[in-house]
């Protein structure tokens, strides 16, 4: 098992050492594939994005300075690839109803006007609940979904998420808040009550 943060290992990757590259590919390919699936891509798209991520990684690895974990650099490429794919395949709606939804869900004090219908743990225990959550995650805008996936599902640190997605910490908090609000609204609509 290699220490992927070791400067010697990183230098061997830059030099094109096939054993170092192979160990890195073996360690992270399934993670890349699962992350792409988690972002709502099909198995075929997830395989393509994972492959494309590796191709780009090896093209630009010379630019990796080692200031973050190599995994963070790699997943940053993955999320950019997913973004590119979505921009190429999807047309986004011109209007965003989230502001109206958010306003209707809060009291003047800033608290939820209605609590969660059940605890998130209970929703997850129920396979139907998990299906609802997955469907709702698929409907999140690309950046909100990426933030939610990285923070809540992958449990990445805020600093790493900001680096991966090239956003500020303030923007991260806003995107996370909006993603949670959208998910709550969607779960309630689909029968979470």
Q: How far apart are CA 25 and CA 105, in angstroms?
A: 45
pLDDT in tens, 96-153: 455 555 556 666 665 556 654 445 555 455 556 667 777 888 888 888 888 888 888 8
Q: For the chain, what is the radius of gyration of the CA atoms? A: 19
Residue 95: pLDDT band (50, 70, 90) is very low
Which residues on neighbouring strands pair with residue 106, listed in sequence order?
112
DSSP assignment of 50-104, as one string?
Answer: HHHHHHHHHHHGGG--SSS-HHHHHHHHHHHHHHHHHHHH----S--THHHHHHH
Q: Are 51 and 42 in contact (CB under 8 A)?
A: no
- Which domains are assigned to the chain? 7-89 (1.10.1740.10), 98-192 (1.10.10.10)
pLDDT in tens, 35-58: 888 888 888 888 999 999 999 998
The whole model's pTM is what? 0.51
Residue 86 phi, psi dihedral angles, 5° rounding: -65, -40
Query: 3-state SS of 161-179?
Result: HHHHHCCCHHHHHHHHHHH
Assess whether pLDDT exceeds 80 at residue 77. yes
């Amino acid at each position: 098992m290699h220490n992927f943060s070791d400067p010697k290992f990183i230098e061997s990757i830059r030099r094109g050492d096939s054993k170092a590259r192979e160990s890195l590919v073996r360690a992270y390919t399934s993670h890349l594939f699962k992350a792409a699936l988690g972002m709502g891509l099909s198995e075929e798209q997830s395989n393509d994005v994972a492959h494309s991520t590796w191709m780009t990684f090896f093209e630009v690895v010379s630019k990796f300075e080692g200031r973050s974990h190599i995994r963070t650099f790699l997943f940053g490429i993955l999320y950019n690839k997913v973004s590119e794919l979505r921009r190429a395949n999807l047309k986004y709606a011109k209007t965003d109803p989230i502001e109206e939804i958010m306003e209707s869900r809060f009291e003047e004090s800033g608290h939820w006007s209605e609590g969660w219908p059940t605890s998130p743990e209970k929703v997850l225990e129920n396979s139907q609940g998990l299906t609802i959550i997955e469907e709702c995650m698929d409907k999140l805008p690309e950046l909100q979904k990426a933030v939610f996936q990285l923070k809540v599902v992958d449990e990445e640190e805020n600093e790493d998420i900001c680096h991966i997605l090239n956003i500020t910490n303030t923007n991260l908090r806003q995107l996370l808040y909006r993603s949670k609000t959208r998910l709550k609204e969607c779960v309630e609509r689909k029968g979470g009550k």
